Chain A
Amino acid sequence: MIENSFNRRGFLKVLGWGGATVALSGCGNTSVEDGREFVTSYVQTADYIIPSIGTYFNSTCAQCDAGCGIMGRVREGRVLKLEGNPKSSINNGKMCGLGQAGVQAHYNPDRIREPLLRNGDKGEAIPWGKALELINEKIGGVKAENIAFLTGGVSGHVKALLKNYLDALGSGHHYVYEAVAPSIMRAANRKTYGVEMPRLRLDKAKVVVSFGADFLGAWISPVHFSQQYARFRKADNGERGVLVQVESKMTLTGANADRWLAIRPGTEGILALGLINALAAAGLSVPGDVAAVVREYTTDRVSKDTGVSAEHIGRLAALLKERSPSLVIAGSAAEGYAHGSQNATAIALLNQVLGNVGKTVEAPSSIPFPQMAPSTGNRFALQSLNDNMAQDKVKVLFSYGVNPVFTAPASMKLKENLKKVPFKVVFAHYMDETALEADLVLPLNSALEDWATVMPEYVAEGAQLNIQQPLMEKLYPGTLGMGDILLALLKQRRPDEYKGYEDFYSYLRSAMVSNKGALGGSTTDDDTFWDATLSHGVVKLVSTPVNMSGNVSAKGLVVPGPFAEDSAYPFHLIPAVSASLRDGRNANEPWLQESPDPLTTIVWDSWVEMHPKTAAKLGIVEGDIVEVASRSGAIKAQVYVFTGIHPDVISVPLGYGHEAMGRYAKGVGVNAFKILDPVFDKETGELAMHETRVKVSKAGRRVVIVKDEGPAGGNQMGRKIAVRVSSNKVNLSEEV
């Protein structure tokens, strides 16, 4: 095997010199001769390597937080492709496009390759030793309360080390921030069910009504839900589940619904209560206090408020009554509005009345190692950090796994407040918007060359710990894993406790092996246990279902009426979370940029979605560049006109519009995060993502949209290419 970039010419040089090399050794003619590179014969390859045969190693996907198990195909020391790990109960051997692009995060040409220290406007490469010493010195000079650690969702041993480091510093300021997390739903679930993340069993439901939850695209654990969806659509007995999606802007899930109901934004809670009323009228037994609350939500009134026709409300109520169990899910209807928590509670009440709790809404399992349980994030955490920075309370800031300069709305003035922090350390893969603001940038290993353990927030069955292991040698000697960095930092503070661990790998192995009894390895010796763990990639943990309360009270439930018209800003802006780009962290992976958006088929740019009626009213046609202005800012992008959106709504995808990060992300599209208005959910204080009101005006130019669909715009022109039939015409139980 030839290591490093030993090229053909170099190889011929060695051959050409032949015997002369013996005499000339030490003269430095080739890198092989003076020992900087070496040639290994195939006769003595590393374990498992057979030239031209791929070997698979299990690990965990880090492209989003779902924690799917992956198998990396490794050939001649390079990881080539990722497949799903069939042993993981989350994804059972399947993957999504975002996960597939994980190799492009690893081999990305724009990765940072060595630690960079700010010197004026430039970053100066420094060795790791100096970087870590600098951190030690800066931390020594400030009070513990002035140190802040900002991270994305973390779990597993990295989280445990992080906590130990913060304890060692004597500071508890760990801010966990996720830009597009379902945090209002988590809070609402905690209130109604006593758990943040109950298990949803689409596969057991006969009807699924989703209020804007894009569970097939970008919501929580899409690959897992997609598999459940397949069983829901084609149950063993041949019964086909019915999906009804209620939302103001069509998501991928909405595009797969039997009935997609365009609802006036923010009125989802009203529809939920109206459905309870209609169900009560149809004879479903409804508790007295609930019946009293919903009595005034007559179908006529609900239809008028929500824009959903009385006919559809009636049919939906009839369907829910007739086919049980069903499942009602609150997605963006809860996340979006200042009354999001109320919407979520109303939707949970509907689930309760339908008797779904315990049937299709199941209790999750307890997590045996709470110190490794996932810390989920919210936007409120960023707000607190921002306030503290504004008041000069933060002297040293660490940032890991987030890009707040990109994802924070402009109204937060986060970038300005960051400048008040004297020393900012950013752990990063790319020079993204946040890394550009840092004083010290520490380059991380890619997820395919790093050790970690991951405990996903949503696990399908039981509790499990995922192993993330290197699938190949590091591409760059100058990068380091987060676990290794934390260990090095801990050695500065608590040398006696951690000096025994040479690196994070030895820490991880020792931590796992010493707990092997609880990790299913009580009867095996250490080496066998460890090898089996790495080989499986997932460790099943012994756990029991937690108690879930299922008594939603209608007491105090008030769902506000529809929004008042706003003549200055007549449209609601829905920032769309796409399956590929999510919050923008993967924008520098070209496969994702060139993967057409499923609904619009647009590539390599942002767009503004608009209903044909709205477009006609404004005199806009497809391709017009428009300015979308909110009270907090304005963006310009091309218009795409289609009928999967409510006429009162304008939608712009998130994740585009990077000003830095890399060649594939920079300058592509516009950043819709920036123009979000600071409106918050009243109960949780979370940013209400759909509350921004905007006005739209033509900016003069028109472009030809770069997209995959042809000029017919999705019309089959009478040809039978994609065919649709009514489900009562076929019998799925007779199919293979």
Chain B
Amino acid sequence: MSITNLLENWSDFRQQHPSDDRPHREYKWAMSIDLDSCTGCNACSVACYAENNLPVVGKEKFAHGHSHHWIRIERYWDNDGREFADQGAQFLPMLCQHCESAPCETVCPVGATNHTADGLNSQVYNRCVGSRYCNANCPYKARYFNWYDYPTTDNVWPEPMNQQLNPDVTVRGKGVMEKCTFCVQRLTVAKSNARSAGRGVLDGEVQTACQQVCPTGAISFGNLVDPLAKVGKQWMTQQVELNKDKQAKDVKDVEEKAAKLRGYRILEELRTYPSVMYLEQLRESAI
């Protein structure tokens, strides 16, 4: 494959949903996170540990960067040289963005990470050989590698703590890459139940663990194809379009000073086409 061929026929090599000739059919799972509601309390992260059998790695391995928090709270300061952080912190729940054109997918030598028809970036554990290319290529640092065999590591799941493990989710072994799945085990059940009832999954029928726990309801999750879904309405109101790398807001910000939109996707300019939209944090100017 020559580089010329790659560049000329780019769209053949990159999966890009939805395209006009191949739109999402039944489902396109997506999320929106309101950073003005998010308080940075970490409940989402702990709920993810509970739902998805994430190992607690301990201090030493955490220091080596081996922590497994599929959703983590990034905390930024915007002091601008002022003496105090007098407008508080900026919290941002970071998880796999389930990019429609995911940089991790194209580099996997064995096709362990790929795109599902529902628009999920999926990870097939028993196909993964641990090359970690995907991790290197992820701009969001949302992938976590099993450097150790945690099920047999001391004090990760000692008896009887292993009884808490969720039987719906694989316990990953050494040498496997893992990441947020949008709680695919819950999606599968919801889809199956809906199919049995001869309908599609209704909005609110399935929740991710992080969304379910969030005390301020900052996280919405749902099916972007469903016109009744809250998440789709949010995307539409914010004029964020899945298959664009520049949104109305970016244009408007330049054209008119008072653009009323606050939806954005992180590092959109990389053309990853993320499935997670964030709403900007607000701060009152009168005080």
Contacts and interface: CB of A to CB of B under 8 A. Distances in A.
Nearest to A82: B50
Interface stretch (A170-178, A220-228, A458-466, A559-567): A220-228
Contacts of A257: 87-88
Contacts of B165: 80
Nearest to B282: A727
A726 interface: yes
A719 B78 CA distance: 12
Interface string A654-698: 000000000110001000000000000000000000000000000
29 contacts: A80-B164, A81-B51, A81-B209, A95-B213, A97-B46, A98-B46, A99-B43, A108-B161, A223-B215, A226-B41, A229-B216, A242-B284, A245-B88, A256-B91, A257-B88, A258-B87, A260-B84, A260-B86, A319-B286, A598-B91, A604-B59, A643-B79, A706-B62, A714-B75, A724-B87, A725-B262, A725-B283, A727-B282, A736-B237
Given A234-B36, A708-B72, A103 B164 contact: yes
A414 B83 CA distance: 42
Interface string A704-736: 101011000111100111111111111100111
A245 B279 CA distance: 23
Nearest to A250: B85
Given A100-B50, A244-B287, A256-B39, 17 more contacts: A94-B213, A95-B43, A259-B87, A319-B286, A590-B155, A596-B72, A598-B75, A603-B59, A605-B59, A706-B59, A721-B76, A722-B278, A722-B281, A723-B262, A725-B280, A725-B283, A736-B233
Interface string A81-101: 111100000010111111111
Given A722-B281, A723-B281, A242 B286 contact: yes
A227 B75 contact: no
Nearest to A600: B75
Interface in A570-615: 579-580, 590-596, 598-599, 601, 603-605, 613
A591 B46 contact: yes
A722 B88 contact: no
B47 interface: yes
Contacts of A234: 34, 36-37
B76 A727 contact: no
B84 A262 contact: yes
Contacts of B209: 81
A329 B147 CA distance: 48
Given A598-B73, A706-B59, A722-B76, A83 B216 contact: no
Interface stretch (B2-10, B13-21, B127-135, B253-261): B253-261
Contact of B84 (A95, A594, A599, A643): A643
A223 B214 CA distance: 9
Given A252-B40, A704-B63, A719 B234 contact: no
B267 A719 contact: yes
A664 B216 CA distance: 30
B264 A723 contact: yes
Contacts of A44: none
A109 interface: yes
B248 interface: no
Contacts of A315: 286-287
B283 A726 contact: yes
A257 to B, nearest CB: 5
B218 interface: yes
Interface string B205-232: 0000100111111100000000000100
Candidate in B49, B56, B218, B238 with the most chain A CB atoms within 10 angstroms: B56
A216 interface: yes
B215 A95 contact: yes
B287 A594 contact: no
Contacts of B49: 100, 591
A230 interface: yes
Contacts of B92: 721-722
Contacts of B77: 642-643, 713-715
Nearest to B235: A736
A448 to B, nearest CB: 11
A141 to B, nearest CB: 39
Nearest to B159: A109
A227 B262 contact: no
A596 B39 contact: no
B39 A252 contact: yes
Given A598-B91, A722-B91, A727-B283, A591 B167 contact: no
Interface in A242-264: 242, 244-245, 250, 252-262
B155 A664 contact: yes
Given A227-B216, A254-B88, A715 B42 contact: no
A245 B83 CA distance: 16
A362 to B, nearest CB: 21
B240 to A, nearest CB: 12
Interface of B: 34-37, 39-43, 45-47, 49-51, 56-59, 62-63, 67, 69, 72-79, 82-92, 155, 158-161, 163-167, 209, 212-218, 230, 233-234, 237-238, 258-262, 264, 266-267, 278-287
Give the interface residue-count category, chain A.
35 or more
A217 B216 CA distance: 12
Interface of A: 52, 75-76, 78-84, 91, 93-101, 103-104, 106-109, 216-217, 222-223, 226-227, 229-230, 233-234, 240, 242, 244-245, 250, 252-262, 312, 315-316, 318-319, 475, 579-580, 590-596, 598-599, 601, 603-605, 613, 642-644, 663-664, 668, 704, 706, 708-709, 713-716, 719-731, 734-736
Contacts of B286: 242, 315, 318-319
B216 A226 contact: yes
Contact of B75 (A103, A601, A719): A601
Given A256-B39, A721-B74, A723-B280, A734 B260 contact: yes
Nearest to A110: B158
A76 B69 CA distance: 27
Contacts of A256: 39-40, 88-89, 91
B230 to A, nearest CB: 6
Contacts of A83: 212-213
Contacts of A734: 237, 260
A591 B50 CA distance: 9
Contacts of A98: 46
A324 to B, nearest CB: 14
B37 A230 contact: yes
A663 B161 CA distance: 13
Contacts of B258: 729
A234 B279 CA distance: 13
A334 B88 CA distance: 22
Contact of B237 (A96, A714, A725, A735): A735
A255 B40 contact: yes
Contacts of A594: 56-58, 62, 67
Nearest to A94: B215
Candidate in A106, A319, A723 with the most chain B CB atoms within 10 angstroms: A723
B78 to A, nearest CB: 6
Contacts of B72: 596, 708
A612 B159 CA distance: 45
A595 B87 contact: no
B39 A319 contact: no
Contacts of A104: 161, 164
Given A258-B87, A716-B76, A107 B42 contact: no
B48 to A, nearest CB: 9
Given A103-B164, A715-B76, A730-B262, A230 B213 contact: no
B286 to A, nearest CB: 6
A315 B57 CA distance: 47
Contacts of B91: 255-256, 598, 722
Contacts of B233: 736
B73 A107 contact: no
Contacts of A591: 46, 49-50, 56
Contact of B160 (A99, A107, A601, A730): A107
A229 B40 CA distance: 13
